[in-house]
């Protein structure tokens, strides 16, 4: 067994709906613990198609959402009305029902340049209580997570556990639009980190990562996480 496989906590359910419910219950408990401990809680979530059921399940949980701040793991440099916006995905699927009471801090800012947007987002997020209480990651079939793409020109700097700043710009051919992403140290320091994935292709890739035979960006994130990462998978 590899050292990385020994570190992680594995959760498996037979369906995406059951997996979403399981993860939602765990996250709600973690957020409630944070509120009880310090009076507030923070969570950063990912985009894509996988988290929709999780968002919907979490939005119905009975916790003190007035004291929860939600932000994003990463975002495309697109307006919040765009169908490719992670902020729009979160607003439509998560910030509803009971979770409508939560505070939302998006990464996108309507500025002339993405560098200006990253700077402003960093200033806003600097006011949060760090480390984040919960980080929910996704993973592409290329092994990227957040906006840590394998073909980013400055990948080594992106994956540096001591990288400066809170929000950084990432540009990579496979990313499409330029991206805004939380930096490596602000992800790996989370009190609870979960990787939420589905399907045989992603299972095959994550098995290779955990066995040490593949080293895409997700490998570095799992390796450097401050707490034991938890992987939630369904077929």
Q: What is the pLDDT of residues 29-77, one digit of tens each?
A: 999 999 999 999 999 999 999 999 999 999 999 999 999 999 999 999 9
The DSSP code sequence of 87-111 is: HHHHHHHTSSGGGGGSEEE-S----
For position 87, which CATH number holds? 3.40.50.1360
Q: pLDDT by residue (tens digit) across 183-216?
A: 999 999 999 999 999 999 999 999 999 999 999 9
Task: Kindly state the percentage of the chain with pLDDT values over 90.
Answer: 98
Question: Cis peptide before 53, with omega less than 30 degrees from 0?
Answer: no
The helix or strand, by DSSP H or E, that contains position 229, with its residue range, turns out to be: none
pLDDT at 190: 98
The pTM of this model reads 0.97
pLDDT at 185: 98
Per-residue CA distances from 199 to 135, 162, 213, 220 (Å): 21, 33, 20, 22
Helix, strand, coil percentages for the chain (3-state, nearest 5): 40, 20, 40
Enclosing domain of residue 207: 3-234
pLDDT at 153: 87
**Separation between Cα atoms, residue 77 and residue 68, nearest integer Å:** 25
Number of domains in the chain: 1
Q: pLDDT by residue (tens digit) across 98-155?
A: 999 999 999 999 999 999 999 999 999 999 999 999 999 999 999 999 999 999 989 9
Q: Which of 133, 107, 140 is nearest to 218 (CA)?
A: 140
């Amino acid at each position: 067994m590899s050292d990385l496989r020994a570190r992680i906590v594995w959760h498996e359910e037979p369906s995406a709906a059951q997996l979403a419910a399981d993860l939602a219950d765990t996250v709600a408990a973690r957020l409630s613990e944070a509120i009880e401990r310090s009076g507030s809680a923070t969570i950063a979530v990912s985009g894509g198609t996988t988290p929709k059921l999780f968002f919907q399940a979490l939005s119905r949980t009975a916790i003190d959402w007035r004291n929860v701040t939600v932000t994003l793991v990463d975002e495309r440099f697109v307006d919040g009305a765009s169908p490719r916006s992670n902020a729009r995905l979160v607003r439509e699927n998560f910030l509803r029902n009971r979770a409508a009471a939560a505070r939302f801090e998006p990464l996108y800012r309507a500025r002339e340049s993405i560098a200006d947007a990253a700077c402003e987002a960093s200033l806003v997020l600097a006011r949060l209580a760090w480390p984040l209480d919960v980080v929910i990651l996704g993973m592409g079939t290329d092994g990227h997570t957040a906006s840590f793409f394998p073909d980013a020109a400055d990948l080594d700097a992106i994956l540096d556990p001591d990288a400066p700043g809170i929000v950084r710009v990432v540009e990579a051919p496979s990313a499409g639009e330029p991206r805004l992403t939380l930096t490596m140290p602000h992800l790996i320091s989370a009190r609870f980190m979960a990787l939420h994935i589905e399907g045989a292709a992603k299972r095959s890739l994550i098995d290779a990562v955990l066995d040490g035979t593949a080293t895409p960006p997700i490998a570095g994130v799992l390796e450097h996480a401050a707490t034991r990462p938890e992987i939630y998978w369904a077929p």
